[in-house]
Structures are given as structure tokens and as C-alpha cells.
């Protein structure tokens, strides 16, 4: 198709936006392994999960068979305020790279949270409200999820308690103020406000916290306070389900112009944006209708897919959450302090882990200096200041496009541009000052945390 025919931005009308989420698990032969009770080592029942999560979200979490789940009107109407998100043809980047490849990116940064996380936050807040709850608790690392949830809770009039990893709380005061503006209360984690926080502080005085610690604290507060539940912004099946709007919109936009991608690329932290972007493409692949190369990109300093173990593990440091079977570096793994690029969770979505295990997708890891090089190149050509997380996908999209330049192949590449980097300027500063370094954990380091995986028979 000629350059004139495909516009720079492919938008959809409101009517073309998805009316149902697509549940990838329905088309998987090997279903993701169930969440397991850490005490009894039996699959978590709906009743057990219901003590932590909202009832309707528990149903979505456990539903491995319904392919399409209708998006309630209230959520669809909220989506209409900031969606559909554009699918952009990166003509300028193609030109700069002198590649015959055709590059598209789905841009999710056009909302105040600055990322795709709002797609699930608004759904989770809706179901909490519908259940008549007072509020929700959560953790946030870099702050995108906390911000997205604060926005969603403000919209539905729910209380929102956010445990923010201490190092981010201190380094990103502006992110904190955005959340407070939307009415959330933000506590640096680990804190003295929870039993598990006190315990972690006693064992590791002066710790700057981790996502795993913050999850433990948020879950404790949800379980102890009537009318509260815990919500999570990634990893879970329900989150991948909500994020399928990204892939469904992208596929509809591509179909409008008869474009079939060869390669779909996304960054992977807990797997939600990637799971959402690839959902309809992976569905076709699972049903044998089409084939795509699907690539997960992770940081070399937190390489769950590429160097982790496929096993049941804790999702949190306090070991109070259900066990999930996933590619994991061990719940005690904490990425090196010089790692600035996000995507620092030790595990991975159970759905994506199963698909990777079964050979339906590839994974690769990249070092942060090369990620920021790609971010800089992208910003200077395409104009958008990308989030460091998103820039992992940019790195590999550029690398694939450069391979096409060598071989002369006109491949079509689609990648997820999950968000903007306005709150990541400390990381950009390090890069601009030439002070960014790469750290790759040793085999011994990974083996030491993997050795602490729970023993399941
Ligand atoms: C949270 C986040 C990610 C990583 O999370 P996933 O669940 O793996 O998608 C990627 N990009 C941005 C901008 C984020 O905020």
C-alpha cells in the first residue's frame, strides 16, 4: 500500500471501539496454571480470592473459557474520553533509519496517568463501586498505576490508598502530588502503618522498598478494613483482559487498511500491556488462522522471561499473596539500584508465561543504556518523549527495522508505545550526563533468589 493511502495516524470512530474485551485464555489449549493458596497449596477458590479482590473481578480472573466479556457502558463511556488511542505510522523514523520496514506504534500515553494503566484502573474501580465498596488499596512503583487508579477512584467517588515504593516516593514528589490531587492518600513503603511493613523495616532498616513490599502492605490493609479490597495494575489475568482494548483497537485500525503485521513487539514488566496488545493476534495464532512473530522485551537487569524459572512463586515480599506459576527470578530478587528503566517486577503474567513456555512467543532482554539511546532517537524524530519502559520496545523495533535494511525485507512491525516519560527525568538526566551504566545480574545472584522459591510437590 502506498504512502499516501495509509495516514500518519489511524484513528477509529467511537463506534469502532471494542464493545467487549477479548479473553485470550479461552483460545489457549494449555490454560495458565491457577493461583494457589500459599498455606494449603490448593487452587484459590472464588471465595478465598473474594476476601482480597472485588467479586466480579474474581470471576474474570478465574474465567478461562468465555472469549468475549462485554465492556459495561460506564467503562466504555470513560474510555471515550481518552480513547481510541492513535495507531501511528512512524514514517519519519522509517525515513531516518532508511529501512524498507513499515513501523507502526500504538500510543497509550494520551491521558494524565501517562500510560495504558488507566484502561484497567477504570474497570477495576467500576466493579469496586458496583459492589458497594468504600475504597481500594494498591501499590505503585514508578507511579503510573497509582496515578491511573487515583483518577479512576476520583471518577467513581471511591477512597484510594496507595503504598508507593519509598525510593520513588522520594524521587518523584510530583507524581505523588498528582495522586493527591485526585484525592488518593499516598504512603511511602515500607511503612510503620502495617504489620508487614514494620516487620520488613525491622529486618532491613533503611530499605528504600520494593514493589513486593508495597504489595504486601496494600493487601494487609485491604484485608483488615471492611469495605476495602486490593487492586493490582499488572500480572493478573483480569488486567490482561482489560488491556485487550489496546490490541483490539490496533487490529481494527490495521484491518481498515488491509495491513497484516509480521512482528508485534511490547515491553514486559508484569505483562499487561504486552498481553493486551498481542491478544487478538495471539488469538489468531492459537486458532491457527494466522502467524505472527511476537516479542516480549525486558530489561537485562530484571530478566524474568529470559533468565527466570517457570515455577510457582510468591508475588510479594511478605509472602502473603497467592502463589502464581510464572517465569520468576524469585520474590526476593531486587533489581540493582542503578536500574532506572522500570519493568522491575520479579515475575510475569501467568498467561504470558504459559504462552512463552509453549513456544507461542519470543523474549529478549536489552541493556538500559541502549534503551535510552533508542528513546533519545525516537524522541528526536517522532517527537514524543517516551517512558523508559516503552523504550524497551522501541529499542527492539528499531533493531528489527535495521535488520530489514540489511536483508531488504519490507516487514511490517507494530510495537506498543505504552506511555510518556515526563516523570522519568531523573533517569534521562543520568543518561544525558553520561552517568548511566548497565548492570546484569550474575548467574549466582539469580540462583540465590531462585533457591528460595517455595517448595511445591
Ligand atoms: C507499568 C508500565 C509498563 C509495564 O507494565 P506491564 O504490566 O508489563 O505492561 C510499561 N510501560 C509503562 C508506561 C508503564 O506505566
> pLDDT tens digits for 354-379?
999 999 999 999 999 999 999 999 99
Specify the residue for cell string 489511524. 10
Q: What is the pLDDT at residue 330? A: 95
Residue 90, C-beta contacts closer than 8 angstroms, at least 6 positions apart: 103, 104, 105, 382
Q: Kindly report, residue by residue over 29-53, the tens digit of the pLDDT.
A: 999 999 999 999 999 999 999 999 9
- Average pLDDT value for residue range 109-134: 97
Mean per-residue pLDDT of the chain: 95
pLDDT at 389 over 70: yes
Burial 143-182 (b: 16+ CB within 10 A, else e): bbbbbbbbbbbbbbebbbbbbbbbbbbebbeebbebbeeb
Q: How sure is the predictor about 117, in pLDDT bands with cuts at 50, 70 and 90? A: very high
Cβ–ligand 1 distance for 387 under 6 Å, the answer yes
Q: What is the pLDDT at residue 335? A: 83
Strand order in the sheet with 9-10: 9-10, 87-89, 102-107, 412-417, 263-267, 293-299, 362-366
Q: How sure is the predictor about 457, in pLDDT bands with cuts at 50, 70 and 90? A: low
pLDDT at 279 over 70: yes
Torsion of CA 380, 144, 279, 84, to 10 degrees: -70
CA 366 to chain centre: 17
Q: Output the CA 408–ligand 1 centroid distance in Å.
A: 33
Q: How sure is the predictor about 130, in pLDDT bands with cuts at 50, 70 and 90? A: very high
- Average pLDDT value for residue range 126-145: 96
Residue ranges of domains in the chain, CATH in brackets: 3-17+72-114+237-450 (3.40.50.1100), 21-69+116-230 (3.40.50.1100)
Which residue among 111, 114, 117, 391 has the greatest number of ligand 1 atoms within 8 angstroms of its CB, and so is best to mutate?
117
Strand order in the sheet with 135-140: 185-189, 159-165, 135-140, 228-230
Q: What is the pLDDT at residue 1? A: 47
Q: Judge contact between 293 and 266, C-beta under 8 A.
A: no
Which residue among 272, 326, 395 has the greatest number of ligand 1 atoms within 8 angstroms of its CB, and so is best to mutate?
272
In this structure, the strands spanning 135-140 and 228-230 are parallel
Q: Judge contact between 356 and 328, C-beta under 8 A.
A: no
Cβ–ligand 1 distance for 54 under 6 Å, the answer no
- Average pLDDT value for residue range 340-346: 85
Ligand 1 atom with minimal separation from the 419 CA: 13
Q: Kindly report, residue by residue over 308-335, the tens digit of the pLDDT.
A: 999 999 988 778 889 999 999 999 888 8
Distance separating alpha carbons of residues 381 and 332, to the nearest angstrom: 40
Q: What is the pLDDT at residue 456? A: 83
In this structure, the strands spanning 185-189 and 159-165 are parallel
Q: Output the CA 2–ligand 1 centroid distance in Å.
A: 33
Q: Judge contact between 326 and 240, C-beta under 8 A.
A: no
- Average pLDDT value for residue range 274-288: 98
Percent of the chain beyond pLDDT 90? 89
pLDDT at 2 over 80: no
Q: How sure is the predictor about 339, in pLDDT bands with cuts at 50, 70 and 90? A: confident
Percent of the chain beyond pLDDT 70? 99
- Average pLDDT value for residue range 435-447: 95
Q: What is the pLDDT at residue 43? A: 96
Cis check for the bond before 293: say yes or no (omega within 30 of 0): no
Q: What is the pLDDT at residue 107? A: 98
Residue 325: Cβ within 10 Å count: 20
The three grid cell numbers given for residue 252, joined into one nine-digit string: 481494527
Q: Output the CA 202–ligand 1 centroid distance in Å.
A: 31
- Average pLDDT value for residue range 118-138: 98
Distance separating alpha carbons of residues 260 and 281, to the nearest angstrom: 10
Cβ–ligand 1 distance for 278 under 6 Å, the answer no
Q: Kindly report, residue by residue over 182-238, the tens digit of the pLDDT.
A: 999 999 999 999 999 999 999 999 888 888 889 999 999 999 999 999 999 999 999
Q: Kindly report, residue by residue over 391-404, the tens digit of the pLDDT.
A: 999 999 999 999 99
Which pTM does this prediction carry?
0.97
What residues are paired with 362 via a beta bridge?
295
Q: What is the pLDDT at residue 209? A: 87
- Average pLDDT value for residue range 84-92: 98
Q: Output the CA 407–ligand 1 centroid distance in Å.
A: 32
Q: What is the pLDDT at residue 69? A: 98
Amino acid at each position: 500500500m502506498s504512502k499516501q493511502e495509509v495516514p500518519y495516524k489511524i484513528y477509529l470512530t467511537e463506534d469502532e471501539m471494542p464493545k467487549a474485551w477479548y479473553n485470550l485464555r479461552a483460545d489457549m489449549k494449555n490454560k495458565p496454571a491457577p493461583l494457589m493458596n500459599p498455606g494449603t497449596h490448593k487452587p484459590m477458590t472464588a471465595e478465598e480470592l473474594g476476601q482480597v479482590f472485588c467479586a466480579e473481578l474474581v470471576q474474570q480472573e478465574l474465567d478461562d473459557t468465555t472469549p468475549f466479556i462485554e465492556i459495561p457502558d460506564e467503562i466504555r463511556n470513560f474510555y471515550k474520553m481518552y480513547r481510541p488511542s492513535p495507531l501511528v505510522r512512524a514514517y519519519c523514523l522509517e525515513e531516518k533509519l532508511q529501512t524498507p520496514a513499515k513501523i507502526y506504534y500504538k500510543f497509550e500515553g494520551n491521558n494524565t496517568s501517562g500510560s495504558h494503566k488507566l484502561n484497567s484502573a477504570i474497570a477495576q474501580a467500576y466493579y469496586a463501586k458496583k459492589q458497594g465498596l468504600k475504597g481500594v488499596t494498591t501499590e505503585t512503583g514508578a507511579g503510573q498505576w497509582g496515578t491511573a487508579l487515583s483518577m479512576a477512584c476520583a471518577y467513581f467517588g471511591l477512597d484510594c490508598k496507595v503504598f508507593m515504593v519509598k525510593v520513588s516516593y522520594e524521587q518523584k514528589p510530583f507524581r505523588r502530588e498528582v495522586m493527591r490531587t485526585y484525592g488518593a492518600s499516598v504512603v511511602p513503603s515500607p511503612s510503620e502503618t502495617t504489620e508487614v511493613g514494620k516487620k520488613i523495616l525491622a529486618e532491613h532498616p533503611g530499605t528504600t522498598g520494593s514493589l513486593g513490599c508495597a504489595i504486601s502492605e496494600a493487601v494487609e490493609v485491604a484485608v483488615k478494613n471492611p469495605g476495602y479490597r486490593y487492586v493490582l495494575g499488572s500480572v493478573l489475568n483480569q488486567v490482561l483482559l482489560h488491556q485487550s482494548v489496546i490490541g483490539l483497537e490496533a487490529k481494527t485500525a490495521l484491518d481498515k487498511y488491509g495491513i497484516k503485521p509480521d512482528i508485534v513487539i511490547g515491553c514486559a514488566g508484569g505483562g499487561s500491556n504486552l498481553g493486551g496488545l498481542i491478544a487478538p493476534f495471539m488469538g489468531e495464532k492459537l486458532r491457527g488462522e494466522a502467524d505472527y512473530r511476537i516479542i516480549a522485551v525486558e530489561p537485562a537487569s530484571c530478566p524474568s522471561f529470559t533468565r527466570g524459572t517457570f515455577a510457582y512463586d510468591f508475588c510479594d515480599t511478605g509472602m502473603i499473596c497467592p502463589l502464581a506459576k510464572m517465569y520468576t527470578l524469585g520474590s526476593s530478587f531486587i533489581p540493582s539500584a542503578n536500574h532506572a528503566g522500570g519493568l522491575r517486577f520479579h515475575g510475569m503474567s501467568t498467561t504470558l508465561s504459559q504462552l512463552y513456555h509453549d513456544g507461542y512467543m519470543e523474549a529478549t532482554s536489552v541493556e538500559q543504556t541502549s534503551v535510552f539511546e533508542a528513546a533519545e532517537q525516537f524522541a528526536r524524530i517522532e517527537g514524543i518523549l517516551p517512558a523508559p519502559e516503552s523504550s524497551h520496545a522501541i529499542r527492539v523495533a528499531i533493531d528489527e527495522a535495521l535488520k530489514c535494511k540489511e536483508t531488504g525485507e519490507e516487514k511490517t512491525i507494530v510495537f506498543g508505545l505504552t506511555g510518556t516519560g515526563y516523570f522519568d527525568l531523573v533517569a534521562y538526566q543520568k543518561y544525558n550526563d553520561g552517568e548511566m551504566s548497565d548492570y546484569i545480574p550474575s548467574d549466582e545472584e539469580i540462583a540465590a533468589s531462585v533457591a528460595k522459591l517455595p517448595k511445591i510437590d
